[in-house]
Structure 1
Amino acid sequence: MQGEDKNFHDLSNLEHLILDYNNLENEFLKNIGELTSLKVLSLQQCDINGTLPPTDWFKLKKLEELYLSRNEFEGPLPSSFVNMTSLRNLEISGNHFIGNFDSNLASLTSLEYFDFTGNQFEVPVSFTPFANLSKIKFIYGEGNRVVLDSQHSLQTWIPKFKLQKLIVSSTTETKSLPLPNFLLYQNNLTYIDLSGWKLEGDFPHWLLENNTKMTDALFRNCSFTGTFQLPMSPLPNIQTIDVSDNTVNGQIPSNNISSIYPNLQYLNLSGNNIQGSIPSELGQMSLLYLLDLSENQLSGKIPENILADGHPLQFLKLSNNMLEGPILNIPNGLETLILSHNRFTGRLPSNIFNSSVVLLDVSNNHLVGKLPSYVEKFSRLQGLYMSNNHFEGSIPIELAEPENLSHLDLSQNNLTGHVPSFANSNLQFIHLNNNHLSGLSKRMFNENSSLVMLDLSYNEISSKIQDMIQDLSYTRLNFLLLKGNHFIGDIPKQLCQLTDLSILDLSHNNFSGAIPNCLGKMPFEVKDPAELLQDFYHLIPEPDNRDGTERYELPNVQEKSNFTAKKRTDTYMGSILVYMSGIDLSHNKLKGNIPSELGNLTKIRTLNLSHNDLTGQIPATFSHLVQTESLDLSFNMLNGRIPPQLTTLTSLEVFSVAHNNLSCPTPEFKEQFSTFDESSYEGNPLLCGLPLPKSCNPPPIVIPNDSDTDEHYDSLVDMNFFCVSFVVSYTSALLVIATALYINPYWRQAWFYYMELVSMNCYYFIMDNCSKVFKI
């Protein structure tokens, strides 16, 4: 369908034209006005780019349905996009349209369904462009920008339409917007989503009371204040209420919430300032499958009936509150339980790993005891987060074997014993750092492992790592963190087989030997960040905006890692971790030269070789580390000159060669190197130049120039002093030799013997040469 302009003269009676998923050009639409009988035009996902042609759209008087979604259109709607008075359905979502609707919409008087999702329109908060659309019922506009228009002062306009769905979750640059006045006159709404609007005032409870047919009310991140009040009468149709990320305060109503919302399925009040306890009446809501009260100031215990058997609850998130007490038994059917960052105490219930649990997060509490070892045979467990508690004992092998488990975090506890074998697991992320583990299992991983991250930092493991690295060579490992243990031996060359590595941290161990040259042949970059990022999140179900089905969008738990760069330890999370790359071999006993091949690591962000016993010179190839932000070679025994080519490294923020044996001038004091102070070079006595106080220029030699001096002072040496010194020294030497020969007869005999031998040799040498010259 590519090529020249199309002529539609012979198709004037055509009523339906559907060309979805073809590859069309913008030219195709230039004569579309000739299809005067057209009722349906669908050009979805046809890769059409550019602006919508200013063709004779107004001639399409009979057009009832127009679908232009998921193309590459840009710019504003053309001024000719008017007077299509029969148009009922208009869908232009998934493009790059900009501007406002102006008068375009006003003439589309039959419009019932309008979807402009995923564009860059400016939607006035007053909604005045929709004022004349008496038949409009469905408006979808997620992802556009809401603006405060000048006409909003006209608060008295009464809309002619009765909306059923208004879904315009959007962004706004205005700090505070008034709630649209036209909503006061709506009573047929079944679905409303104003998420992202920065609206003024309290949560609009009256909006729910006025629209008794409402099924879904979403007001995420709307800046609402006030309390979460209940309507005066029951709303049996409401299924979803989301008021997350506002500043709602007060308490959750505890008297009759189950009777006011008898069919509520989804309640999200997270990210507010709600206080008090969790009402036990929430446990009486027989259809509630998702409850998110996280990031509030709730206290007290979890009501027993919320976690009672038979309750339909599938998702419960109570993290980041002040809840306390023990964690009760987990009912069958609960899939996601997130209780992190609270004050829960006691031991975990024995059925914590029942067959229905998919994600369990009890991290950052005060839980004690040993880890439960019983995992049901058909476990669905995918994510287990139990960090920063007081668990003790060994890690049960059963926790390393669930078939579906991909994320395991047992860090920051008091676990002891060996790291279990993960040869029978499908784990992708393993966090066992900050425990008291002392050894490794013989076979850690198998050839089918899909491991992405292994963090064993800050334990007490003292073995060699050759066998584990050999097992890891089968994986697609991206992050290997072994910092702060007692590992010994050489860094194995098999490490270079881990070609997917982006972060390698072997610091603060007892590694010895040389740095393997082959490290410089590794890419140290994530090959496909988007693919890896998908593994970094466990997701929360959210009702779909169209048909009420579930979709999975909101990030819940992000994978993270601590890594030292720029002389400080940072926690890298989610997408930031994906794009981080670095090598840290500091605080070991490594010897030998720094391999010049490390200069090939052009994608690396940080390189730390400090506090070792490295010798030789700094490789000039380090000038190729163009993306490096931190380079630390301090506290070694490096010598020679700092390569002047390093001044081309414009990304450097931290640079240190302190406490070595370097000499000669420092690199030229320009660009990034003009930002480094004396501490970057201290401890090198033979270094000179800025920013050190020691100058590299020798002091000038001053020659006397007195008019009273004579020619004897033309020389820099005092000749009288030289003559006296020479005579005294020569005399002293003769006296010392004579005294030694007088005292020691053996030396005296040898002296005369060698003197006689020398004189005889000289005599015969002269006689032989003279006889040849004079032919004697």
Structure 2
Amino acid sequence: MNLNGNYLEGSSSKFSQAFTNLSNLEVLHLEDNLLNSFLTFHDWKSSSKLKVLYLGYNNFSRGIPPSIFTLNSLQALSVAGSYLNGPISYGLCELKNLRDLDLSKNKFEGILPPCFNNLTSLKMVNLRGNQVYIPSLISNLKSLESIALSGNQFDGGLPFTSPLKSLSSQLKFLDMSNCNLNMSTTDLLKFLHNQYDLRYLDMSHNNLHGSFPNWLVENNTRLETLVLRNNSLSGNIQLGLVVTLLNYFDISNNHIQGNLQTDIGVVLSKLRYLNLSKNSIEGTLPTSLANMKYLYYLDLSKNSIEGTLPTSLSNLKELYTLDFSNNRFFGEIPESWFLNLKYLTSLKLSYNSLSGRISPSLFNLPYLLVLRLSNNQFIGNLGRIPSNILIFDISQNQMTGRIPSDIGKSDSLRTLILRNNSFHGPIPLELCNLSSLNFLDLSNNHLSGIIPSCLNLTSLKYLHLQENKFSGSIPKAILQSSNLITLDLKHNNLSGNISKWFGFLRNLRVLLLKGNRLSGSIPLQLCQLKNISLLDLSHNNLSGSIPPCFGNINFGKIVPGEDVFEKNAYEQSGYSIFEYTDLLDITNMANLYVDLEYSEEEEVEFMTKSRSGAYKGDILNFLSGIDLSCNQFTGLIPNDIGALTMIMALNLSNNQFTGSIPRTFSKLKHLESMDLSRNKLTGKIPSELTDINTLSVFNVSYNNLSGEVPYMKAQFSTFDENSYKGNPFLCGPPLQKPCKTITKSTTTVTLARWSASYGMDLISLFASFAASYIMTLAGFVIVLYINPYWRHIWFNFIDTCLSFMFPFWSEAIYKRIHRWLWKMISTRHPQSLVGKQYMLLLSRISNFWRWDFLGFLNKLEKLSNLASIPSQRESINALVFGDMHYK
């Protein structure tokens, strides 16, 4: 009974009544449904004859129930892709007649139960996509033929202790791809030492290193599929002289060197698939390749093979796909290829040095779907294009003439790339008939005239018309192409305003209008481009202000699941679509391969970090930027720009912006390039900008900025004076002009810098120090004031120190003090009372300070006696201002 893929949902117990009467049921398929639980024991007890049970790709999550382990007649069990986890149940060991067990694409972990050694009838075990280790006990499974472990991460080592070395059976199928193995080919030899009947071996996407294991092919003469791609194998390929049965051979993306052996076509004469791409193979192609008469697929791309293209390859009449791109071939494409390779579906010869004219016979190939001849030296006019072609790429050549009008007959065309040639004339209107066109690139030619308004193709996603001579306005009809992702019209002669119709391009991610003659202001409708990530309006005549609503655009904010820029799907996966299976019809392989190529690798050019660069592939999902430079924009820079937190490049240079730099720019935490040069900005550069740790280019030169430049910390320590030149009122490092006046605000900024540098709050430190000093001094003065004893000792100590260390200086001080006191008293009292008042004042001072003026007071007695006799004034002066020896 086969109920696969019928969207059956809910609990599988709903089918119990139906199974009750199916006592003779032997095969049951319930795969690819929406079931969420297993049948109970009661449901299974009437199915004792059941031999095949497929329950995979449902939503089971509670483990395999014990009821299934009672099906003693069961020979094949699959629960693949059913969200099961935890250890593998020991109950499986009860299924003594089990031959095929598929537990793949779950989350099982731990060690395979040792009791599996008792399943002597087991032939196939599929544990792909789990995290399971295999014990050496499986060496007793004499019937075991197939082991699949791909996707299990084994942390560099083998998942078992060499059970295959002592395995009593001969494996026919072994898949250990993508298992994170790190082993040499010497270890591989020990591992597969006793295996000589392998038919399928896949150890791709690991880290196998050492010389290519030629012995592997020699020992296993029945080997049909050998997949070792994406490892680190080196050396030459020398397969001996024995003709093998190998029909699928893939060692791409390794380090294979040297020339191909001359008789490789004889040794591998049964081959149907050969992929030696992404290695370091040199020399010329051996003529023996012509003996591979069954070959469907031949890929030698990305090597260093040279010479002319051999005409003998025209004998490969079954060939569907031929890829010799990224090598050193030269000369013309042999005409015999187009006469004999009638089944050729994909031909790739890009990135060589091929020359001459493209033969019209090439376009007579009836099944040709993919043609890539880019980056060569082909010349001449472009003839008609095959009506059944899907991908046509002749970019980077020397083609001339007009684009043929009958191109409109290729109604299956999905990708058309003619860039970097010398085509001239207008775009033919017949191009608008390509209803399936997804990718159109006519850039870097000499095309002229107006852009046809009929190019509003609903399927069009990527449109590149840059670097031509198109004139007129941007057609409104194109702006109704709702699926458009990239619109690149830069460096043409387009004029007029930016239409409000741009707001209808809701899926637009890249808009490049640089280097035209567009005028007017930015329409508010541009803010409706919620998915835009790259916007370049530079080098036009635009004016007005930046709409504040720019802050509402999701520049660089990727919505999960909406990555629209990819590497070519075939290149990105690392896997060939020719996966091994007995049920695969190899005649459909070429069509399947072409399907993977529909996702073209997008490439755009954008100015970041003060230089223009080409960005391609999935990096465009993460790149974001705005370039409005070299226009006539005025007004303030909106603070709302600071809301574009994921933006990486911002260029507003060469405009007439005024006001200050918004402090909100400090929120642009992913910004790598900021250019605000050649405007009329004033005020200080916000110090908060130093918090942008990703900034590598900063330019505010030729403005009217003032004050001190931001402190040279983090990224700002890498910017030199060129970032600030042309601002005469800026000062401080790295400029040569120092900041002379230190204002309160400047001091505060300086202290803040010190705090950041030394990890402490210096303002608080200075405040606490001053407070402590004042309190200590005040306490000392208070003690001296209220305690005469200590006051007397303190001043005696000071006077003694001064007299001892500086006797002349101390005496001079006393003379100066007494002169000042005498002068003050003599101006306020009669002459008869001067001496008395003077002695009284000094007595009060002495009483207060407890200072020992005894020697001087003895002289004051004489002074008081003489003070009342005016005639004795000279004696008083001599006494006061004469020698005073303090004792």
1:584 positional shift: 0.6
Which residue in the other structure is 2:81 paired with? Answer: 45
Which residue in the other structure is 2:369 paired with? Answer: 335
Q: 1:610 aligned to 2:643?
A: no
1:496 positional shift: 1.3
Which residue in the other structure is 1:110 paired with? Answer: 143
Q: 1:136 aligned to 2:171?
A: yes
Aligned residue among 234, 240, 255 for 1:223:
255
Opposite residue 632 of structure 1, the aligned amino acid is D
Distance 1:291 1:275 in 2: 16
Deviations 1:148-175 (A, max 9, x none): 2697397698525511222222221x65
Which residue in the other structure is 1:723 paired with? Answer: none
Which residue in the other structure is 1:119 paired with? Answer: 152
Distance 2:129 2:75 in 1: 23
Opposite residue 608 of structure 1, the aligned amino acid is N
Opposite residue 585 of structure 1, the aligned amino acid is L
Q: 1:346 aligned to 2:377?
A: no
Distance 2:189 2:105 in 1: 35
Determine which structure has the larger helix proportion and give its number. 2
CA RMSD across the alignment = 3.5
Aligned residue runs from structure 1 range 521-600, under 5 A: 521-525=552-556, 527-528=558-559, 530-533=561-564, 537=568, 542-546=577-581, 547=584, 548=586, 549-550=588-589, 551-552=592-593, 553=596, 557-600=600-643
Deviations 1:452-500 (A, max 9, x none): 101111222233222xx51562441110001122222212222112222
Q: 1:688 to 1:30 in 2, by over 3 A?
A: farther
Further displaced range: 312-321 or 78-87? 78-87
Further displaced range: 627-636 or 526-535? 526-535
| Contact 2:212 2:237 (8 Å CA) reproduced | no
| Contact 2:452 2:475 (8 Å CA) reproduced | no
Deviations 1:318-371 (A, max 9, x none): 01111100011112321111001111111112x2x2211111111111111111
SS of 1:638 mapped into structure 2: strand
Which residue in the other structure is 2:204 paired with? Answer: 169
Opposite residue 730 of structure 2, the aligned amino acid is L
Further displaced range: 554-563 or 298-307? 554-563
| Contact 1:400 1:425 (8 Å CA) reproduced | no
Opposite residue 346 of structure 2, the aligned amino acid is F
Distance 2:377 2:663 in 1: 54
1:534 positional shift: 6.3
Q: 1:597 to 1:531 in 2, by over 3 A?
A: closer
Q: 1:199 to 1:30 in 2, by over 3 A?
A: farther
Distance 1:219 1:348 in 2: 37
Distance 1:240 1:169 in 2: 16
1:378 positional shift: 5.5
Deviations 1:598-626 (A, max 9, x none): 11111211111111100011122222222
Distance 1:320 1:344 in 2: 12
Q: 1:671 to 1:105 in 2, by over 3 A?
A: farther
Deviations 1:666-709 (A, max 9, x none): 33433333333332222222223343344445379xxxxxx99x
Which residue in the other structure is 2:108 paired with? Answer: 73
Distance 2:373 2:560 in 1: 30
Aligned residue runs from structure 1 range 709-720, under 5 A: none
Q: 1:74 to 1:581 in 2, by over 3 A?
A: farther
Q: 1:197 aligned to 2:218?
A: no
Q: 1:265 aligned to 2:265?
A: no
SS of 1:519 mapped into structure 2: helix
Opposite residue 193 of structure 1, the aligned amino acid is V
Which residue in the other structure is 2:282 paired with? Answer: 249
Q: 1:289 aligned to 2:337?
A: no
Distance 1:404 1:304 in 2: 31
Further displaced range: 374-383 or 151-160? 151-160
Distance 2:633 2:528 in 1: 21
Further displaced range: 446-455 or 508-517? 446-455
Name the % identity.
Answer: 36
Distance 1:543 1:78 in 2: 34
Aligned residue among 360, 363, 368 for 2:400:
368
Opposite residue 93 of structure 1, the aligned amino acid is R
Further displaced range: 510-519 or 542-551? 542-551
Deviations 1:239-296 (A, max 9, x none): 2111111222222233x543x2222111111112211111122223221111111111
Aligned residue among 239, 250, 259 for 2:272:
239
Q: 1:430 aligned to 2:463?
A: yes
- Flag structure 1 segments of 5+ consecutive residues without an equivalent: 701-706, 711-776
1:94 positional shift: 2.3
Q: 1:651 aligned to 2:694?
A: yes
Q: 1:274 to 1:509 in 2, by over 3 A?
A: same
Which residue in the other structure is 2:754 paired with? Answer: none
Deviations 1:1-36 (A, max 9, x none): 8999x999x989787665433444466579998887
Distance 2:269 2:569 in 1: 32
Which residue in the other structure is 2:305 paired with? Answer: 274
Opposite residue 399 of structure 2, the aligned amino acid is L
| Contact 2:141 2:168 (8 Å CA) reproduced | yes
Aligned residue among 219, 230, 239 for 1:185:
219
1:37 positional shift: 6.8
Deviations 1:546-582 (A, max 9, x none): 2245344579851111111111212111100121111
Distance 1:157 1:409 in 2: 51
Opposite residue 330 of structure 2, the aligned amino acid is S
Aligned residue runs from structure 1 range 295-694, under 5 A: 295-308=326-339, 311-329=342-360, 330-331=363-364, 332-349=366-383, 351=384, 353-377=385-409, 379-421=411-453, 422-424=455-457, 426-440=459-473, 442-445=475-478, 447-466=480-499, 469-471=500-502, 473-525=504-556, 527-528=558-559, 530-533=561-564, 537=568, 542-546=577-581, 547=584, 548=586, 549-550=588-589, 551-552=592-593, 553=596, 557-694=600-737
Deviations 1:38-62 (A, max 9, x none): 5443221121234x25746656544
SS of 1:597 mapped into structure 2: helix
TM-score (norm 1): 0.81
Q: Tell me how many residue pairs correspond in the alignment.
A: 691
SS of 1:543 mapped into structure 2: coil
| Contact 2:135 2:161 (8 Å CA) reproduced | no
| Contact 1:314 1:333 (8 Å CA) reproduced | yes
Distance 1:677 1:670 in 2: 12
Opposite residue 365 of structure 1, the aligned amino acid is N
SS of 1:90 mapped into structure 2: strand
- Flag structure 2 segments of 5+ consecutive residues without an equivalent: 1-10, 12-35, 744-808, 817-887
| Contact 1:123 1:147 (8 Å CA) reproduced | yes
SS of 1:599 mapped into structure 2: helix
SS of 2:493 mapped into structure 1: coil
SS of 1:308 mapped into structure 2: helix
Distance 1:453 1:76 in 2: 51
| Contact 2:117 2:137 (8 Å CA) reproduced | yes
Distance 1:201 1:662 in 2: 63
Distance 2:369 2:731 in 1: 65
1:303 positional shift: 0.7
Q: 1:363 to 1:687 in 2, by over 3 A?
A: same
Deviations 1:364-395 (A, max 9, x none): 11111111121253521110111111111222
